[in-house]
Structure 1
Amino acid sequence: MRDLLNKLGKPLEVKLDGAPAAHTRLEPSQGSPKAGRDAKHDSAHKHVAGEAQYIDDRFSHAGQLYGCVGKSPHAHARILSMNLDKVRTAPGVLCVITADDIPGHLDIGPVFPGDMLLAKDKVEFVGQPLFAVAAESHNAARRAVKLAEVEYEVLPATLTIEDALQQQLFVRPPHQMRLGEPEAAIASAPNRLSGDIEVGGQEHFYLEGQISLAIPDEDGGMQIFSSSQHPSEVQKLVAEVLDVPFNRITVDVRRMGGGFGGKETQAAPWACLAAVLARKSGRPVKFRLSRSDDMEMTGKRHHFHNQFDVGFDDEGRILAADITVNGLCGYSPDLSDAIVDRAMFHADNAYYLANANILGNRCKTHTVSNTAFRGFGGPQGMMAAEAMIEAIARRVGKDPVEVRLLNYYREDHERYDFKQGGYDVTPYHQKVEQNLIPLMTRKLMADADYHARKAAIRAFNESSPILKKGLALTPVKFGISFTVQHLNQAGALIHIYTDGSIHLNHGGTEMGQGLYTKVAQIVAQEFQVDMDHIVVSAARTDKVPNTSPTAASSGTDLNGKAAQNAAQKLKGRLIEFACEQYQATPEQIYFADNHVHVGERAFPFAEFIQQAYMGRVSLSATGFYKTPKIHYDRDTASGRPFFYFANGVAASEVVVDTLTGEYKVLRADILHDVGKSLNPAIDIGQIEGGFIQGMGWLTTEEVCWDANGRLLSNSPANYKIPTLGDLPEVLNVELLPNEPNREETIYHSKAVGEPPFMLAMSVWCALKDAISSLSDYRIDAPLHTPATPERVLAAVEATLSAAKGE
């Protein structure tokens, strides 16, 4: 397969209707492009050829054992007794551990306490680990854990947001943001309405499940291979669980088969259990979850129930809003405090709320602890804003896009003299700068023929009694930075060897998003060498310490800047050496075309590096970066939690069968803001993937539990991610041209990981538009998510009933 790919003699061209050719064309390998140009993913050939090595592909070590856990069958119960004698004597079992066998910390909560490695006195969700075994085979371990004899006292279980709110049961205290005088402004508004929106959860469904391999070393330490987005946290927690210094633990992450946030905190328990079993047995232990165990025992995107009370004028301009976001957090804090905060930060989406009160509740339930997922609460918060806009538009009898334009934050007056729109202060008192959403909306409306298609759809719906089409355009304004300030830092390490080859390491992890490729392009750009000079090695805690998770869309922003910093230190040393060696000034020295130019002389890069080595120049450097300007005062709910905002707009068209609730996405047009793109091909791939994954969240992916708290959607047979058949027939993607980031990000680029996910809200709004046509667009269709055919059909019936009752 590799030979076949290498022999392709013409560029690979991905055909996307309407997408600019410059962003869909990958040139065959001729050296490697530097920053700002298309470059294929560094492991693309390996993925296609099956050569990319994941943890489960590693050769077994001598004496290697396999781990598995015994699980609770109850959502909430007291453990009265646990007899594991039959487990210990089961064929192939060499080691069994319970909570009493943990040398150090039992609680591995990433921020706040409450996440137990193994249950001790009680269980709080179906599937909670009780004990762990290590056996000579994976199957032997799985068979053994079923032999446990455990006696429980079953306790009442809280399973829903409504029950948690009624009991005031929270994993963390509520938080509130305020701007202006919302109560008075709502009471005096010409129009007022209230509503709510259920926003379903989502399974990460990464291709590679949770897995860790622990190898004990001779000094009482441990080497850990983990499929984790946060190697340093795995290092910390394994050390604390084993009760050893951090420097005894080395964590290695070369790649993940997908992460999407599900491996930010929840990769750690399996590394910790593997390490304890390895310590006790003295042998390497691999812990690999089966798909059903993975789905049952690891957290998901938070289900939310959002409520709003909004006052507005006769044109549809929002005067005040009172919004409550209620997140279903599960049994423990995990990252839920920050996730609900992020939902609150994005409850405005792209709309100015002159008077606003936003309350966030972190509801505790006896279910698995929910966790990070692409967007980190932002998508759920934005759904409150879009539900509000849709309801207002139907009330005032306008196309929702007109109401959106009316309520956007003030346009960027530095470049455009367009007076429409609001002001520029968010409910958390951050000023919105470089606001491109109004411009992007008008551009996409023109490029996608929005008004003509809207008129054609109305005509179609009038003549079609069963099939109804809908079209909607929605914006995304997504804040970029970790909202926990100290995580906004990164390190990098660069070695230049005497043959001119470059070794690059940084704290970011590669989960398929192309981070390694982008950072390598940055280093290539700094030294002006081809990318085939550069090798990026696995993220390792013994190379770059104290790293932040690869999350919050900040992987390239942080690690790219750190790598640039390291490269510039090395360039400074090389320039100083050239000045001394050739009596030149710094202005006479520059790097270009794989050469170092000193005045009239030009040395091949490798030759000049050899000279520098002979001249005793250090050819290794660390780099560091911390994001400037950001701060947030939680006591006053004000500050600047985000360095900048990434923007996007999407227009989606659907057709709905009003007799069955089935539907099809016909077309999607996307215009996205990535600043000055580091790699257009990878950015467009992220946009396409994010949009489709978001579409799955809002349409087909339904997380289902029974009345006892048992997960029903626990396999690919009963949990439906989007397939090729669900893709829009036409998908147009364009990167917003000529708008570099005004902040000093790496080459003025913008993050692209999470923001495109929320573009899929346009699909949900298009479904509502199609259903609303049954009432001549007077009624806001009551459609909760995921908008499965059953829910669409229920919304159709409710809309028809409401129309008859008018």
Structure 2
Amino acid sequence: RSGVGESQTCDHVLQFESKAAFQNHFSVNACLMPVCQLDGAAVTTVEGIGNTKTRLHPVQERIAKANGSQCGFCTPGMVMSMYTLLRNKPKPSMEDIKETLAGNLCRCTGYRPIIDGYRTFCEVCNCSPINSFIQHHTTSENCCQRNGNSCCMTNGSGPLESEEFMPLDPTQELIFPPEMAESAKPTTQRFRGERMTWISPVSLNELLQLKAQHPQAPIVMGNTNIGPDIKFKGVVHPIIISASRVRELFEVEHKPEGVCVGAGCSLSAVRSVLEKSVSSLPEEHTQTMAALLDQLGRVGGEQIRNVATLGGNIASAYPNSDLNPVLAAGRCSVLLLSKDGKREVLLNKEFFVGFGKTILKPEEILLSVFIPVSRKGEVVRAFRHAPRKENALATVNAGMRVWFEEGSNVVKEMSVYYGGVGPCTVSAEKTAQQVVGRSWNEETLCDAYKELVDDVTLGASAPGGKVMFRRSLTLSLLFKFYLHVLQHLKDTVHPPLLSVSTMHTCFQPREQLVNNTIVTCVGQMICGVVADTKQHAKLAARALRISYEDLPDPIFTVEEAVQKHSFFLPQRKLEKGDVSRAFQEADQVHEGEIRLGGQEHFYMETQSMLVIPVGEEKEMKVFVSTQHPTMAQEAVAETLGIPSNRVSSHVKRVGGAFGGKVTKTSILVSLTALAAWRTGRPVRCVLERGEDMLITGARHPVLGKYKVGFMKDGRITAADVQYYANAGNTADESVLVAEKILLHMDNSYNIPNLRGQSSACKTNLPSNTAFRGFGVPQSMLVMENIINDVALILNRPAEEIREKNLYKEPSLTHYKMEFDPENLLRCWMECKEKSELEGRQLSIAQFNQQNRWKKRGISMIPIKYGIGFAEGFLNQAAALVHIYKDGSVLVSHGGTEMGQGIHTKLQQVASRELNVPLSLIHITETATSSVPNTCPSAASFGTDANGMAVKDACETLYKRLEPIRKQDPNGTWKSWISKAFFDKISLSATGYYRGQDLYMDWEKQEGLPYAYFTYAACCSEVELDCLTGEYRTIRTDLVADIGRSINPSIDIGQIEGAFMQGLGLYTMEELKFSPSGVLYTRGPGQYKIPAVCDVPLQFNVYLLSGSHNPHAIYSSKGIGEPTLFLGSSVFFALKEAVAAARSDSGLSGPFPLHSPATPERACSACSTRFTQMIPEAETGSARSWALELP
């Protein structure tokens, strides 16, 4: 759980028998819903709708059949969100599904299989992207319906055969318990705890009396504000008043002059009310209502909107509120009530007086909100920009209203309100006054802009950072409003309008478990607190008082580390050819740099473990969510000073890992084991999301500095690159990451003269660690940026430069490993064909010529990814297979299941080798007591190694049974096993795999670090809004060489999930640290991973046919990590779109666009006249709000 209602993994369904309820069923977040609030509600959890012991519910069945669950940690939330939708709307549309799942996060799947499963509930089930929001996914050449055929989702030709689905019968669902309805009595409730009292009145008079008696007591409705404060900030309220049962707060009254909405109405209920009003009233009267509807659909996820209230949104006065600017601009008012009387107050700049403060008196409550109808000639519009399209707090939002003199374009009245640019909702009053009395034209707008630059300002150290961007957004959003009103006037008044295109004329070593001496970063553990309850442990931790002295001269960035020679050794270097001479002979030489930010693992299940002391021989049982059970075992044994045979590690499954549950987990499990050892009792440790993000590190931020020499025809003849990785305060695996960066610096290109140097910089940030790709995504981004720069200098398509420099024939890498690039070239050419690259490049060029503020870009990227551990001893695995007398088979192996499907694949291996059905084979867990000395499940090598070990064990058993099969060729598997038992033939066997002796000799700069390469290519097209930096991915085509796949469904899921994680890395996910090294982005509220809305509108995945691989089991290939880098195709497509925008501004050639290419960076790189109008912030003595990493 996130604890703030952002990930929706803890969805439950509530049903109230109440006249105040606007819907019978609604989903909520368990992490925010107080138990006290549930009196009188019927609560349905995922276990309540179906299970594997009795019967799956259709919602559960379809997500399973669609392969929509990998690690499975997000699945209950997905299921319950969809279940709620179906209870309220048994035949939903695709738009309904999109909206329902907008707030649900998944880190594994890439969302496609989840949507594919749930789209089958739609009345019109269609796989075409034209007919639904979801991407088209297919492994065939074209859409199934292109030639007039029926949809593969309904005709049984696809993976989801509709005939197999359990039908959804709404009449068989749970009803509200009649006994609860009969016993429900509206009486005041009081619940008393150790530190606070919860009071829930049932009448308005009683509520007013309570507020008079306890004026400082907060009123709780949805608990979306008070709850997180209590949970994360330790705020204690002696009295809490819940007004959720006061009917007057939920009343809605329609009047000729507008609609009066009770302050207690949830945002979902308000939305329903406004939708009905908009559909029943003339358009000219619904401007404000329509603007509010635009915002209501994007405030939080549906689970938040179901409980958050309109009154709470207003009264909390949050500076980023999406509704308050629109309410203020739209002339809305509120009715305030107390025991002494009532007053009606306009929502304007006087109402919001500061951060979280309004003019409400402590004893007052907000009873209702009045939303007036708009007047003839009045235009109201809402705007919003956020790090993610949905379920994300706005960076900047706005509500704008203009009222014209009748029959003209002369402004009679105007209001402009912004959120996100001050401590509360801000009125651009001077800007509005600049426009009043003047015609709505470009000259007026120019003057308004000049006024707005001074009217709305932000200091250099303003909370939230992005000062220049936020200020430029105020201009861009006003310009968008100008364009919207122009169109409105054109449709209604028809004045002579100037061309918008003339707008420019008005502008110019090992880690310690805890440290009690020197603390080298914020987030370093200094002690552990053991208590009988989680709440007591938290209170005890807060009670600790620790004295600190500031570290002299801390190091946070790689530039500071380089300046002070702060590195983890060794530093690595690779070189081939004569780089210096090649530079002299090159036609052109170019130098540049690119920065790549870090990335939080954001596994859905945080670090979790349970340690139980057992027996009398100092034994410990460790149940832990880890990729490396043996490392956890050895860490516990070493910490407690006992041999490893007294410690057993057990891993059932892992709720996502991505490299983040190896070294960091072992440190935490050691602390937990120490607590269990000292207390003699079982101890559980489960980190909360913010703690996990603060402590466990992330992907290494990297600075790449490069020099490239090339010829006029695009051939790159020399490259020299320096990589600086921000390792944090301990070494962890950073030197290994730096090594892999060098090993993949060529990506897929044969550069005859290549030199690279890589350093792991020691800084005072939390220690970074392994992450899916292990340095490769950083390394290859630098090379692709070099390619992009060369293309811009030569004014040629980047794909032409890439293709010219690809490996073309059997070659040696820069570390002298031989390989054949045939399948790399096949992937490239097939992707080029499938994506219709050349034709789309022409249409994109035409689109960009016709559009000034929207630009499109397309990019195609290849990858050559090495599989295996360069540390040769890790390329081994073992397995243990038991056959029981009833014929059932139990398989144990050293790999851990973390969503990548290793258990399923190894069941398939056992089934194939023993020639028995999958139903007879079971894998219970990964345990060091069954399979010792395991290697980590990492490097996309888990199935390769453990699959061969299982195969070896099964071959041994099958060979033992051969005499019995010959004796009784017509027997059954069960009869053969029974006969073997009575013949005293062992039905247990171990299997072992000794992998290749891979190595890398850094002194000689040569080696065989990988068993083989996985190849792929990907083409993505984006559309960029140059005014805000927002973009959407229109289409992605991906071709992957994964050999002969053991399970294509699993592998495609890995490909899509990795791609989406890469899309997040390169365009969205941004870790922010304060100038003193404190991580700001500690949770889903601040750190945004891709959601359903970020999936490409059309997503095609193709598996390369006719491929084989002699170096892995059944000629398959590892695929978990490679395709993550292909998310960079979106990054470079964005860069192409930015280049088109810069071209319109007269700019050409290479330009900096660092990763992630957030809307802020993309908008700034476009260098429009709007961004140029904002003066550079004068920092003076103030420090920037956040560090600029790496």
For this structure pair, what is the TM-score category when the shorter chain's length is used for normalisation? 0.7 to 0.9
Letter in 2 for 1:546: N
The residue that corresponds to 2:914 in the other structure is: 527
Q: Deviations over 1:110-148 (max 9, x none)?
A: xxx331100032011102111112100011111101222
Task: Using structure 2 for the length normalisation, give the TM-score.
Answer: 0.56
RMSD of Structure 2 on Structure 1 (CA): 2.5
Q: Deviations over 1:599-651 (max 9, x none)?
A: xx322111111111111111101111122252211221211100000011110
8 Å contact kept, 2:871–2:998: no
Of 136, 140, 150, the match for 1:17:
136
SS of equivalent to 1:151: coil
SS of equivalent to 2:1138: helix
Of 227, 234, 238, the match for 2:636:
238
The yes-or-no answer on 1:625 pairing with 2:1010 is: no
Counterpart-to-counterpart distance in 1, 2:813 and 2:963: 47
Counterpart-to-counterpart distance in 1, 2:613 and 2:64: 49
SS of equivalent to 2:1107: coil
The yes-or-no answer on 1:154 pairing with 2:550 is: yes
8 Å contact kept, 2:636–2:647: yes
CA 10–677 in structure 1, closer or farther in 2 if over 3 Å, else same:
closer
The residue that corresponds to 2:597 in the other structure is: 200
Letter in 1 for 2:958: K
Aligned-pair distance for 1:409?
Answer: 1.0
Aligned-pair distance for 1:577?
Answer: 4.6
Aligned-pair distance for 1:696?
Answer: 0.5
Of 1133, 1157, 1161, the match for 1:787:
1157
For structure 1, the 5+ residue unaligned runs are 29-36, 46-112, 413-423, 583-597
Aligned-pair distance for 1:173?
Answer: 2.2
Point out the more displaced range, 710-719 or 8-17: 8-17
CA 18–204 in structure 1, closer or farther in 2 if over 3 Å, else same:
closer
The yes-or-no answer on 1:763 pairing with 2:1130 is: yes
The yes-or-no answer on 1:286 pairing with 2:684 is: yes
Aligned-pair distance for 1:212?
Answer: 1.1
SS of equivalent to 1:307: strand
SS of equivalent to 1:165: helix
The yes-or-no answer on 1:183 pairing with 2:580 is: yes
The residue that corresponds to 1:739 in the other structure is: 1107
8 Å contact kept, 1:492–1:506: yes
8 Å contact kept, 1:505–1:544: yes
Matches within 5 A, 1:270-419: 270-411=668-809
The residue that corresponds to 1:657 in the other structure is: 1025
Q: Deviations over 1:10-38 (max 9, x none)?
A: 9756646351369999999xxxxxxxx98
CA 9–121 in structure 1, closer or farther in 2 if over 3 Å, else same:
closer
8 Å contact kept, 1:264–1:551: no
8 Å contact kept, 2:1000–2:1007: yes
8 Å contact kept, 1:180–1:354: yes
The residue that corresponds to 1:561 in the other structure is: 948
Aligned-pair distance for 1:213?
Answer: 0.7
8 Å contact kept, 2:690–2:1082: yes
8 Å contact kept, 2:870–2:1008: no
CA 762–736 in structure 1, closer or farther in 2 if over 3 Å, else same:
same
The residue that corresponds to 2:1115 in the other structure is: 748
Counterpart-to-counterpart distance in 1, 2:1031 and 2:730: 38
The yes-or-no answer on 1:455 pairing with 2:823 is: no
Aligned-pair distance for 1:781?
Answer: 3.7
Of 537, 541, 544, the match for 1:141:
537
8 Å contact kept, 1:38–1:680: no
Counterpart-to-counterpart distance in 2, 1:10 and 1:384: 39
Q: Deviations over 1:166-219 (max 9, x none)?
A: 111012221101111112111221111111110110001111000111101221
Aligned-pair distance for 1:469?
Answer: 0.2
The yes-or-no answer on 1:702 pairing with 2:1070 is: yes
The yes-or-no answer on 1:511 pairing with 2:898 is: yes
Q: Deviations over 1:566-603 (max 9, x none)?
A: 11111111114545xx3xxxxxxxxxxxxxxx6xx322
8 Å contact kept, 2:708–2:718: yes
CA 738–799 in structure 1, closer or farther in 2 if over 3 Å, else same:
farther
Aligned-pair distance for 1:482?
Answer: 1.3
Letter in 2 for 1:790: E
SS of equivalent to 2:548: strand
Q: Deviations over 1:264-308 (max 9, x none)?
A: 211112210111011111111111111111110111000000111
Q: Deviations over 1:325-380 (max 9, x none)?
A: 11000011101111111111111111112111110001000111100101011100
The residue that corresponds to 2:1011 in the other structure is: 643
The yes-or-no answer on 1:615 pairing with 2:1012 is: no
Letter in 1 for 2:842: A
8 Å contact kept, 1:771–1:799: no
8 Å contact kept, 1:182–1:357: yes
Aligned-pair distance for 1:222?
Answer: 0.6
CA 9–466 in structure 1, closer or farther in 2 if over 3 Å, else same:
closer
CA 578–10 in structure 1, closer or farther in 2 if over 3 Å, else same:
closer
Counterpart-to-counterpart distance in 1, 2:686 and 2:1121: 27
Matches within 5 A, 1:217-228: 217=614, 218-228=616-626
Of 669, 680, 683, the match for 2:1051:
683
Instruction: Give identity over the alignment, percent.
Output: 37
Aligned-pair distance for 1:411?
Answer: 3.7
Counterpart-to-counterpart distance in 1, 2:516 and 2:1082: 26
Count of residues paired in the alignment: 692
CA 734–799 in structure 1, closer or farther in 2 if over 3 Å, else same:
farther
8 Å contact kept, 2:965–2:971: no
For structure 2, the 5+ residue unaligned runs are 1-49, 67-115, 118-126, 128-134, 145-150, 167-508, 1173-1190
8 Å contact kept, 2:852–2:1141: no
Counterpart-to-counterpart distance in 1, 2:1170 and 2:872: 50
Aligned-pair distance for 1:801?
Answer: 11
Letter in 2 for 1:463: Q
Counterpart-to-counterpart distance in 2, 1:801 and 1:149: 47
SS of equivalent to 1:376: coil
8 Å contact kept, 1:470–1:767: yes
SS of equivalent to 2:992: strand
Counterpart-to-counterpart distance in 1, 2:981 and 2:939: 40
Aligned-pair distance for 1:431?
Answer: 1.5
Aligned-pair distance for 1:7?
Answer: 7.8
Letter in 2 for 1:713: T
SS of equivalent to 2:1130: helix
Aligned-pair distance for 1:692?
Answer: 0.6
Letter in 2 for 1:677: S
SS of equivalent to 1:267: helix
| Larger RCO of the pair (alpha carbons < 8 Å, separation 6+) | 1
Letter in 2 for 1:539: T
Point out the more displaced range, 230-239 or 568-577: 568-577
Aligned-pair distance for 1:779?
Answer: 2.2
The residue that corresponds to 1:64 in the other structure is: none
Of 1081, 1088, 1092, the match for 1:720:
1088
Of 814, 827, 831, the match for 1:444:
831
Counterpart-to-counterpart distance in 1, 2:160 and 2:635: 37
CA 136–10 in structure 1, closer or farther in 2 if over 3 Å, else same:
closer
The yes-or-no answer on 1:170 pairing with 2:289 is: no
8 Å contact kept, 1:507–1:548: yes
Letter in 2 for 1:671: V
Task: Using structure 1 for the length normalisation, give the TM-score.
Answer: 0.83
SS of equivalent to 1:122: coil
8 Å contact kept, 2:1142–2:1166: no
8 Å contact kept, 2:568–2:759: no
